[in-house]
Amino acid sequence: MGKITGAQMLIKCLKESGVEVIFGFPGGVVIPIYDALYDSDIRHILVRHEQGAAHAADGYARSTGKTGVCLATSGPGATNLITGIANAYMDSIPVVAITGQVATHVIGTDAFQEADITGITAPITKHNYLIKDIKELPAVIKEAFYIASTGRPGPVLIDIPVDISKGYIDENLKADIDVEGYKPTYKGNPRQIIQAVKKIQESKKPVIFAGGGVTSSEAAEVLTEFAEIAHIPVITSLTGKGVFPDTSDLSLGMAGMHGTKYANLAFTQTDLIIAVGVRFDDRVTGKLSEFAKNAVVIHIDIDPAEIGKNVRVDVPIVGDAKNVLSDLKTKYLEIVKGKISPEQAAWLENIASLKSKCALRYDRDSDALKPAYIIEKIYELTKGEAIICTEVGQHQMWTAQYYKFTRPRTLISSGGLGTMGFGFPAAIGAKVGNPDKTVIDIAGDGSIQMNVQEFATAVSNKIPVKIMVINNGYLGMVRQWQEFFWNKRYSHTNIADSVDFVKLVEAYGGTGFRVKEKDEVESTIKKALEIDNLVLVDFWVEREENVYPMVPSGSAIDQMIECD
Which amino acid is present at 7? A
Q: Is 395 in the site for another protein (CB under 8 A)?
A: no
The correct pick among 44, 48, 55, 127 for binding another protein (CB under 8 A) is: 127
**Rounded CA separation 284/256 (Å):** 4
Angle of helix 476-485 relative to helix 394-402, nearest 10 degrees, comes to 100
Q: Which is nearer to another protein, 133 or 517 (CB)?
A: 133
Number of Cβ within 10 Å of residue 491's Cβ equals 9
CB under 8 A, 24+ apart: contacts of 219-226: 219/243, 219/276, 219/277, 219/320, 219/321, 219/322, 219/325, 220/244, 220/407, 220/408, 222/322, 222/325, 222/326, 222/329, 223/276, 223/321, 223/325, 224/248, 225/329, 226/325, 226/328, 226/329, 226/332
Q: Which of 476, 475, 478, 458 is nearest to 467 (CA)?
A: 458
Residue nearer to another protein on the CB measure, 5 or 149: 149
Using an 8 Å Cβ cutoff, are 58 and 84 in contact? yes
Residue 181 CB, nearest approach to another protein (Å)? 5
Give whole-number Cα distances, 245 to 99, 144, 387, in Å: 39, 34, 15
Q: What is the DSSP letter of 167?
A: S
Smaller CB distance to another protein: residue 254 or 300?
300
Kindly tell me which residue out of 8, 118, 326, 447 binds another protein, with binding defined by CB under 8 A.
Answer: 118
In the bound state with another protein, the residue whose beta carbon lies nearer, of 156 and 560, is 156
Alpha helices in 317-454 (DSSP H): 321-335, 342-357, 371-382, 394-402, 423-433
Q: Per CB under 8 A, does 278 bind another protein? A: no
Nearer CB in complex with another protein: 123/342 = 123
Our CB check for another protein shows the closer of 177 and 348 to be: 177
Residue 410 is given by DSSP the state S
Nearer of residues 132 and 187 to another protein, judged by Cβ: 132
Backbone φ and ψ for 439, nearest 5 degrees, come out as -120, 125
> Is there binding between residue 108 and another protein (CB under 8 A)?
no
Residue of 244, 271, 515 whose CA lies nearest to 377: 515
Smallest distance, Å, CB 82 to another protein?
15
Query: Given its phi and psi angles, is residue 36 left (phi above 0), alpha (psi -120 to 50 degrees) or beta?
Result: alpha
Q: Which is nearer to another protein, 128 or 401 (CB)?
A: 128
Nearest approach, Cβ of residue 327 and another protein (Å): 23
Residue 182 CB, nearest approach to another protein (Å): 5
Q: Specify the amino acid at residue 256.
A: G
Do 65 and 219 form a contact (C-beta atoms < 8 A)? no
Count of chain residues binding another protein (CB under 8 A): 18
Residue choice 130, 297, 375, 430 for contact with another protein (CB under 8 A): 130
CB of 140 to another protein, least distance (A): 12
Binding mask 34-63 for another protein (x = CB under 8 A): ------------------------------
For residues 118 and 270, which CB has a smaller minimum distance to another protein in the complex? Answer: 118
Give dist(CA 291, CA 195) in Å, integer.
Answer: 23
Among 73-81, 190-198, 259-267, 300-308, the segment contacting another protein (CB under 8 A): 300-308
Query: DSSP letters of 348-379?
Result: HHHHHHHHHHT-----TT-SS--HHHHHHHHH
* CB nearer to another protein: pick between 86 and 428: 86
Least CB distance from residue 277 to another protein, whole Å?
16
Query: Is residue 305 a contact residue for another protein (CB under 8 A)?
Result: yes
- Verify binding: residue 303, another protein, rule CB under 8 A: yes
> b vs e for 144-177, b when ≥16 Cβ sit within 10 Å of the residue's Cβ?
bbbbbbbbbbbbbbbbbbbbbbbbebeeeeeeee
Nearer to another protein, 316 or 429 (CB): 316
Site string for another protein, 513-542 (x = CB under 8 A): ------------------------------
Helix axes 521-530, 371-382, angle to 10 degrees: 40
- Residue from the set 122, 345, 368, 496 that interacts with another protein by CB under 8 A: 122
Using CB under 8 A, pick the residue from 48, 126, 279, 431 that binds another protein: 126
Which 309-348 residues touch another protein, going by CB under 8 A?
309
Q: Which is nearer to another protein, 127 or 395 (CB)?
A: 127
Find the shortest distance in angstroms from Cβ 555 to another protein.
24
Of residues 132-161, which lie at the interface with another protein (CB under 8 A)? Answer: 132, 147
Nearest distance, CB of residue 126 and another protein, angstroms: 8
Which of the 8 DSSP states describes residue 556? B
* Binding region for another protein (CB under 8 A) out of 54-62, 264-272, 301-309, 389-397: 301-309
- Is 286:261 a contact under the CB 8 Å cutoff? no
Rank residues 140 and 515 by Cβ distance to another protein and give the closer one.
140
CB of 143 to another protein, least distance (A): 9
Q: Residues 162 to 201: which contact another protein by CB under 8 A?
A: 179-182
Angle (CA) 67-73-77 rounded to 5° is: 90
Select the residue interacting with another protein from 39, 123, 367, 383 (CB under 8 A). 123
Find the shortest distance in angstroms from Cβ 308 to another protein: 8
Q: Which of 304, 363, 407, 502 contacts another protein by CB under 8 A? A: 304
Element (H, E) at 165: helix 162-166
Q: Is 542 exposed, middle or buried (0-12, 13-18, 19+ CB in 10 A)?
A: middle
Please choose, from the candidates 77, 97, 79, the residue with its C-alpha nearest in 3D space to the C-alpha of residue 88.
97
Residue range at the interface with another protein (CB under 8 A); choices 84-92, 114-122, 198-206, 390-398: 114-122
Residues that bind another protein (CB under 8 A): 118-119, 122-123, 126-127, 130, 132, 147, 179-182, 303-305, 308-309
